[in-house]
């Protein structure tokens, strides 16, 4: 099949997948003087960076911001003439009450401010008042013992590589359960026990070993972030693109096309083979790669992969970037002769069934921004310390944590009944407050007091959440204290992102590393995207730019 020149056409490069990874790679290839063809199986470019109109205002429906890490993303934004913006307002945590005697005032779930000096919830000073208010005095004392542990505790090669074990080994379950788990679950849609610490926080384990404690490592990260922030004119390190992240993917596509590249949506790669040494159609020199591409139509549901629909054509090229989703990428790579089966024999972990319900409503009480930019709800089961007294606490301590001080959060024998979570949502974002341009557009369209709220649902391992307006409004009332009547709702939209954020477990990380090593000697081929780079715009852009740089470097050799 691969040898047939059915409608064969030669391109300088082929980029498979039009998410942020593929667009970034194609953009860099254009800058290097190549004219790539980018194909995207769905009907739009951007992938998990997607936009839609709700209440008439265009908003991000998927990713909306990124953590500034290195220069890869920020320099790209600057070159594209886009401005970065920081989220307005600070997020909160919605947590169960602490056990009696642990320093708690209330017996109800309640809102807490994020601690001032923490990184993904890990405090630089476990005894700071805002940390103690969240985790209680005993847990704070246990967390402070991190400074007395040797730097090797929890950081050795024999220690488990997941974030939960690492944090527990150093600071105990109080920090894990009431800070790290709710924050990481909200940001990564995954449990810290399922995430490789070195992927979520590159360098943190090594810095802990070197500096002697996790709190010192976090303090160093925060210091570097502060310096970077100062260097960026005081802008926040949590950045977005002014007007919406979708402006970035829109601008990338425009620049690719303006630079001589071509973008085709509803077109998917079906197979990938090395060139067979035969001259290409029209007598052109043999190409290194041949790729079968075909039109696509929607799969059975919007979350399913698009399916081929129409006659195939062949792209001949010397440069291929595989930047599509994991399943499709692995199918393509399995067609490369000589690649050991062990390289592509990897199972992508199952991601949470994410559902996001956005509503636009007239709600004057929200003008006071009662929950800042939004809040994260602690996972159910994190409810109270009583739950930590059982086997879960022992299991989360991890095998490598032996010989460490015992956790101070659950004194023996105490039993408090966990207080059930009053909401089904796992997060709420006050979008019109967090992103001022959303608020301004809605006010211009509908007048004052109109707000946009987004509720997120779907935790790992749980069934697909069933959400409607009634459920969402109930959760808004419980979380913000503001009751919105259905008749004041101007518009609403449910968007599902089932399984699109698979957790990068330590084992999975090892497998993708192995794959990358096996692919490194293969010329004219690069693989990129979140499934190999690690989740998040910053990681993906950096990885995609490095991949495009290698291909462009090999061009003309």
Ligand X SMILES: Cc1cc2nc3c(=O)[nH]c(=O)nc-3n(C[C@H](O)[C@H](O)[C@H](O)COP(=O)(O)OP(=O)(O)OC[C@H]3O[C@@H](n4cnc5c(N)ncnc54)[C@H](O)[C@@H]3O)c2cc1C
Q: Is 349 in the site for ligand X (CB under 6 A)?
A: no
Quote the least distance from Cβ 322 to ligand X, whole Å. 9
Whether the Cβ atoms of residue 344 and residue 39 lie closer than 8 Å to each other = no
Quote the least distance from Cβ 215 to ligand X, whole Å. 26
- Judged by CB under 6 A, the stretch of 272-280, 423-431, 463-471, 495-503 that binds ligand X is 495-503
Quote the least distance from Cβ 491 to ligand X, whole Å. 19
Q: Is 20 in the site for ligand X (CB under 6 A)?
A: yes
Nearest to 358 by CA among 435, 463, 459, 447: 435
Query: Which residues is 239 bridged to in the sheet?
Result: 66
Q: Give the residue, chosen from 13, 18, 168, 373, that forms a contact with ligand X under the rule CB under 6 A.
A: 18
What is the maximum alpha-carbon separation in the chain?
A: 82
What token pair was written down for 113? 């401010």
Q: Give the residue, chosen from 97, 126, 192, 536, that forms a contact with ligand X under the rule CB under 6 A.
A: 536
Q: Is 155 in the site for ligand X (CB under 6 A)?
A: no
Q: Is 39 in the site for ligand X (CB under 6 A)?
A: yes
Residues in the interface with ligand X (CB under 6 A) total 35
Helix, strand, coil shares, percent, the chain, to 5: 40, 20, 40
Q: Please list every residue from 222 through 251 that binds ligand X, using CB under 6 A.
A: none
Distance CA 128, CA 136 (A): 11
- Judged by CB under 6 A, the stretch of 168-176, 227-235, 323-331, 360-368 that binds ligand X is 323-331
Query: Nearer Cβ to ligand X, position 171 or 199?
Result: 199
- What spatial distance separates the first Cα and last Cα of the chain, rounded to whole Å? 29
Nearest to 12 by CA among 2, 24, 28: 28
Helix (H) or strand (E) holding 197: helix 197-200
What token pair was written down for 222? 């925060």
Q: Is 482 in the site for ligand X (CB under 6 A)?
A: no
Q: Give the residue, chosen from 537, 547, 551, 552, that forms a contact with ligand X under the rule CB under 6 A.
A: 537
Q: Is 21 in the site for ligand X (CB under 6 A)?
A: yes
Q: Is 48 in the site for ligand X (CB under 6 A)?
A: yes
- The DSSP secondary-structure symbol of 367 reads G
Helix (H, G, I), strand (E, B) or coil at 496: strand
Query: Nearer Cβ to ligand X, position 53 or 417?
Result: 53
Helix (H, G, I), strand (E, B) or coil at 326: helix
Q: Give the residue, chosen from 14, 34, 36, 64, that forms a contact with ligand X under the rule CB under 6 A.
A: 64
Distance CA 57, CA 51 (A): 10
Q: Vertex 139, ends 133 and 144: CA angle to 5°? A: 100
- Judged by CB under 6 A, the stretch of 40-48, 118-126, 200-208, 223-231 that binds ligand X is 40-48
Quote the least distance from Cβ 236 to ligand X, whole Å. 14
Q: Is 269 in the site for ligand X (CB under 6 A)?
A: yes
What token pair was written down for 478? 């419980």
**List of residues contacting ligand X (CB under 6 A):** 16-22, 39-42, 47-49, 62-66, 268-269, 323-325, 328, 354, 497, 500-501, 529-530, 535-537, 540
């Amino acid at each position: 099949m691969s040898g047939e020149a059915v409608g064969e056409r030669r391109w300088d490069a082929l980029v498979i997948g039009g998410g942020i990874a593929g667009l970034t790679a194609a953009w860099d290839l254009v800058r290097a003087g190549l004219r790539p063809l980018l194909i995207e199986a769905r009907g739009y470019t951007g992938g998990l960076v997607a936009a839609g109109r709700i209440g008439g205002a265009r908003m991000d429906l998927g990713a909306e911001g990124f953590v500034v890490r290195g220069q890869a993303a920020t320099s790209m934004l600057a070159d594209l003439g886009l401005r970065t913006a920081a989220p307005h307002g600070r997020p909160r945590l919605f947590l169960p009450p602490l056990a009696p005697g642990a320093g708690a005032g209330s017996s109800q779930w309640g809102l807490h401010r994020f601690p001032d000096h923490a990184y993904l919830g890990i405090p630089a000073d476990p005894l700071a008042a805002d940390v103690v208010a969240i985790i209680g005095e005993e847990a704070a004392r246990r967390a402070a013992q991190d400074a007395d542990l040797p730097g090797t505790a929890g950081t050795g090669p024999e220690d488990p590589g997941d974030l939960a074990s690492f944090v527990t080994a150093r600071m105990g379950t109080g920090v894990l359960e009431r800070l790290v788990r709710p924050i990481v679950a909200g940001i990564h849609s995954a449990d810290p026990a399922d995430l490789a610490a070195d992927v979520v926080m590159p360098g943190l384990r090594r810095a802990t070993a070197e500096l002697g404690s996790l709190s010192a490592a976090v303090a160093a990260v925060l210091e570097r972030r502060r310096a970077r922030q100062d260097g960026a004119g005081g802008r926040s390190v949590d950045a977005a693109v002014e007007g919406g992240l979708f402006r970035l993917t829109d601008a990338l596509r425009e620049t690719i096309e303006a630079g001589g590249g071509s973008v085709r949506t509803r077109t998917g790669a079906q197979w990938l083979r090395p060139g067979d040494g035969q001259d290409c159609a029209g007598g052109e020199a043999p190409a290194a790669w041949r790729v079968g591409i075909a039109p696509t139509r929607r799969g059975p549901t919007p979350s399913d992969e698009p399916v081929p629909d129409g006659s195939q054509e062949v792209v001949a090229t010397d440069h291929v970037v595989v930047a599509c989703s994991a399943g499709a990428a692995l199918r393509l790579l399995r067609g490369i002769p000589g690649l050991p089966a062990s390289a592509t024999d990897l199972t992508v972990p199952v991601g949470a069934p994410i559902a996001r319900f956005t509503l636009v409503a007239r709600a004057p009480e929200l003008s006071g921004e009662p929950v800042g930019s939004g809040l994260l709800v602690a996972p159910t089961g994190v409810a109270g310390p009583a739950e930590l007294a059982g086997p879960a606490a022992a299991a989360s301590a991890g095998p490598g944590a032996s010989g460490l001080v015992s956790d101070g959060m659950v004194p023996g024998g105490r039993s408090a009944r966990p207080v059930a979570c009053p909401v089904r949502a796992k997060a709420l974002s006050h979008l019109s407050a967090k992103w001022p341009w959303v608020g301004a557009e809605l006010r211009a369209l509908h007048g004052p007091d109109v707000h946009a709220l987004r509720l997120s649902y779907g935790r790992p391992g749980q069934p697909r959440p069933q959400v409607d307006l009634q459920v969402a409004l109930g959760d808004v009332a419980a979380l913000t204290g503001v009751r919105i009547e259905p008749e004041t709702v101007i518009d609403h939209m449910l968007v599902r992102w089932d399984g699109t954020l698979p957790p990068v477990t330590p084992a999975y990380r090892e497998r993708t590393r192995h794959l990358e090593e096996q692919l490194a000697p293969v010329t004219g081929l690069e693989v990129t995207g979140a499934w190999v780079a690690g989740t998040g715009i910053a990681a993906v852009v950096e990885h995609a730019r490095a991949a495009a740089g290698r291909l462009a470097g090999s061009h003309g050799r």
